[in-house]
Structure 1
Amino acid sequence: MLLLSLNREYIDLVPKDVVNDWLKYLRNEYPTIAFKASTQNQRSNLGQLNISADIASDSMLNSSECIGADNLIKLLKNYCRNANIKTSITVGVIGFPNVGKSSVINSLKRSKVCNVGSTPGVTKNAQQIHLDKNIKLLDCPGIVFTQAKKDGSNAAEVLLRNCVKVELLEDPVTPVEVIVSRCQTEQLMELYDVPSFENSHDFLLKLAASRGKLKKGGIPDIESTARSVIQDWNNGKIPYYTIPPVRKDIHVSSSIVTGYSKE
């Protein structure tokens, strides 16, 4: 069974109404939980607020406590019941690198049992965590599913998911081409305080000149400038999001999400 969790460690970069639209869309396919991981620094006793992330106020969502753990744990416990007989389950927490998988486990466990970091590749091996006597969580390294295209555009799109450390990118320019194609020219002009540009190469030239990123002889350092843009993208400095496709299916409300798998 597949269960989706939208982690607010990253969805807070998206307008709340768009997040709610995605929740409605995804809940027509799979059980989907809105989740905010704890951002507290202590090793144990990580805080939790007993309220759904769907209805939490902005002040709650901006707090350091975890939100949504209660709903997620209830849902997992439902899967432990089979014809009213309790069974043990193993839940694999999978997804792209650096999307907060380990943070979700730490928040559920209320202690830092998994290493976390802001760069991809922190989790290098699968690790088993016992949530309780019936639920075992499997913290997995990031998984990237992709099909290569002849023009290499899909590979560049994957790199924009923060799957590879920016300093290790062999070609940082192509991902910036994708960023420029996704964003409005005026948006990038205002964000980086650069004049109008014709394409991604022109954008990098003008940004390099503006930031003084020059090689010997005053040649613009395009690669270094491109890496800084990708870093801004990964950190959420460049706003970008998509809206879910329009569908006519009946929406599954959040109030019955925790009732999945009771049968």
Structure 2
Amino acid sequence: MAALMASARARVQDFEGEEDDLEDEEEEWGGFEDGDAGEQPTSLPARKDSSRKAFDKVFKQVVDAADVVLYVLDARDPEGTRSKEVEHSVMAAEGGNKRLILILNKIDLVPPPVLKAWLVHLRRYFPTIPLRASGPAPNAKTFDHKQLTVKGTSETLFKALKSYAQSKSLKRSISVGVIGYPNVGKSSVINALTSRLGNRSGACPVGAEAGVTTSLREVKLDNKLKLLDSPGIVFPSSGDKAAKAEEQARLVLLNAIPPKEIADPAAAVDLLLKRLSASLDMYQKLLDVYSIPPLPTYGDVTTAFLVEVARKRGRLGKGGVPNLYSAAQTVITDWRDGRIQGWMDAPVLPVAPAVSATSAVNGDEVPPTGDQKEIVKEWAAEFKLEGLWGDDAADETDAMVS
């Protein structure tokens, strides 16, 4: 684990371009936010170093303490909210005795065929459960997945965790760590589980802005289960200036950076337009959100789009000049809350890499020589997931999203 954390720190040093100051090892958590693990806008005070050290500390605490790790992913961009480093860290911990389950959250924001494809893909690696941890934001564009309701999916997850706890027959309670990018719904997952036990007040604070969970929290479900809620995980990528700018825009679209710390929301809107323009249907739906006529296909399309948004939403400055920054923030908010439809399609792979203990420790990429079916099957049996939204057999998946 120490080697993995050292490797992660090395990546961050490359990303930031400067050595991390390690003088205050015992510093307090004050000011730590979920989005701090990524690169911060240059126009704001730098808090990257202390936040990264704080993240390393709490992430290690979660992995060390947890018997089961729930890795929460955003259904609109599962791969974008997934880190191989995190998976390797969990798999390598305690001689490979930890259990990892992928939680595909916000499923109501993607259509059934997209959900089905992602479940098939992700279940090649780890057991995966679809989840609706909370209701949609106002005016969000959602899809009906029938029995995959907030109540139904949270009960499924709870039963799976209880089955695992009972199978271990331990005298102590089972610890379940909840990890994931900022704003993927980690705290909502915990609240969905506690709500089914009659806790209506909510065990964890939730919000649409990154940075709601700022420290490690422990929530007791019953005498056999306790949950650990942690701040968001962001592993920044090293690269040249252009690559860093694109990474920053990607993190904004994931809502992994608090709005007040977004230096250039227009760059994120530009990336969003590029993604949605790959589908004529999605691109047209975006224009329909703001009642915008077809945009020119030449010149600065992003600026032209933001000018129209500013006019439609009244984001104007003195003399009626469009406020492009405010318009871009509006688009980012609408995207975050699901009022703009969009998603990433699952990759079509004939096979998936198996994760061996050696590759997990070294962080090596394993060639895709075969599905990781054995480990998925074994862990699914421990959680009694077969036929309970945990089996990727065609008939089960079809029944789930038809």
CA separation in 2, counterparts of 1:71 and 1:109? 13
- What SS does structure 1 have at the residue aligned with 2:226? strand
Q: 1:259 aligns with which of 378, 381, 387?
A: 381
Match of 1:215? Answer: 317
User: Which consecutive unaligned segments of at least 5 residues does structure 1 have?
Assistant: 40-55
Shift of 1:159: 0.9
- Residues 23-53 of structure 1 deviation map (CA, whole Å, 9 limit, x = unaligned): 11111110111222255xxxxxxxxxxxxxx
- Does 1:94 find its partner at 2:94? no
CA distance in 2, matches of 1:171, 1:38: 30
The alpha-carbon distance between structure 1 residues 211 and 102, as it changes in their structure 2 partners (threshold 3 A), is closer
Q: In structure 1, what is the equivalent of residue 229 of structure 2?
A: 139
- Whole-angstrom distance in 1 between the partners of 2:111 and 2:220: 35
Residue 32 (structure 1) aligned with residue 128 (structure 2): yes
> Aligned partner of 1:116: which letter?
V
Output the amino acid matched with 1:241: W
The structure 2 residue matched to 1:158, chosen from 228, 231, 251, is 251
Task: Give the TM-score normalised by structure 2.
Answer: 0.53
Q: CA deviation at 1:81?
A: 6.0
Match for residue 73 of structure 1 among 158, 170, 173: 158
Q: Secondary structure at the match of 2:338?
A: coil
Q: Which amino acid aligns with 1:71?
A: T
Runs (5+) with no aligned partner, structure 2: 1-98, 136-143, 278-282, 352-370, 385-402
Deviates more, 1:198-207 or 1:229-238: 198-207
Residues 97 and 121 in structure 1, CA contact (< 8 A), matched pair in contact too: yes
Cα separation, partners in 2 of 1:261 and 1:189, compared to 1, 3 Å: closer
RMSD, aligned CA: 2.9
Deviation of 1:117 after TM superposition, in Å, equals 2.1
State the distance in 1 between where 2:155 and 2:379 align.
12
Deviation per CA, 1:150-174: give whole Å up to 9, x if none.
Answer: 2110111011111233344221111
Q: 1:231 aligns with which of 312, 316, 333?
A: 333
Superposition map of 1:97-108 within 5 A: 97-108=182-193
Residue 263 (structure 2) aligned to one of 170, 174, 177: 170
Q: Counterpart in 1 of 2:286?
A: 188
Per-residue displacement from partner, 1:89-144 (whole Å, max 9, x unpaired)?
32110111122211211222232222222322221111111222232210112222
Q: 1:224 to 1:69 in 2, by over 3 A?
A: closer
Greater helix share, structure number = 2
Q: Within the alignment, does 1:247 sit opposite 2:349 as a pair?
A: yes
CA, structure 1 residues 189+72, in 2 after alignment: closer, same or farther (shift >3 Å)? Answer: closer
**Structure 1 residues 36, 190: closer, same or farther in 2, change over 3 A?**
closer
Identity %: 38
Cα distance in structure 2, aligned partners of 1:33 and 1:212: 42
Q: Equivalent residue for 1:50? A: none
Instruction: Give me the TM-score of the superposition, normalised by structure 1.
Output: 0.79
Superposed CA offset, 1:205-246 (max 9, x none) = 233234443222333211111111111111111111112111
Query: How has the CA–CA distance of structure 1 residues 257 and 6 changed in structure 2, closer, same or farther, with 3 Å as cutoff?
Result: farther
- The residue type paired with residue 220 of structure 1 is P
Q: CA deviation at 1:2?
A: 1.4
Residue in structure 2 matching 1:120, options 191, 203, 210: 210
